């Protein structure tokens, strides 16, 4: 089942991954990272398609997609 990882300390909370995930599996979290941003959080409910849109749109290359 596909899944993603988000390097939260690199995230600047731009929200692009939140906007572009067709499954709506990413939201901005409630915890500040070291940069002072509410970093993105992956909410895995088993429906991630592994499409990679989230990783493609992230300007800071915070996201990796695993298709296993």
29 binds ligand SF4 (CB under 6 A): no
Using an 8 Å Cβ cutoff, are 36 and 52 in contact? no
49 binds ligand SF4 (CB under 6 A): yes
Using an 8 Å Cβ cutoff, are 15 and 28 in contact? yes
Other beta carbons within 10 angstroms of residue 54's beta carbon come to 26
Using an 8 Å Cβ cutoff, are 4 and 65 in contact? yes
25 binds ligand SF4 (CB under 6 A): yes
The residue within the footprint of ligand SF4, chosen from 27, 65, 66, 68 (CB under 6 A), is 65
- Interacting residues toward ligand SF4 by CB under 6 A: 2, 4, 6, 11-17, 21-23, 25-26, 40, 48-54, 57-58, 60, 62-63, 65
């Amino acid at each position: 089942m596909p899944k993603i990882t988000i390097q939260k300390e690199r995230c600047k909370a731009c929200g692009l991954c939140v906007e572009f995930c067709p499954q709506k599996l990413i939201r901005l979290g409630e915890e500040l990272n070291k940069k002072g941003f509410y970093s993105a959080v992956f909410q895995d409910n088993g429906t991630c398609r592994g499409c990679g849109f989230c990783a493609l749109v992230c300007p800071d290359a915070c996201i990796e997609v695993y298709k296993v």
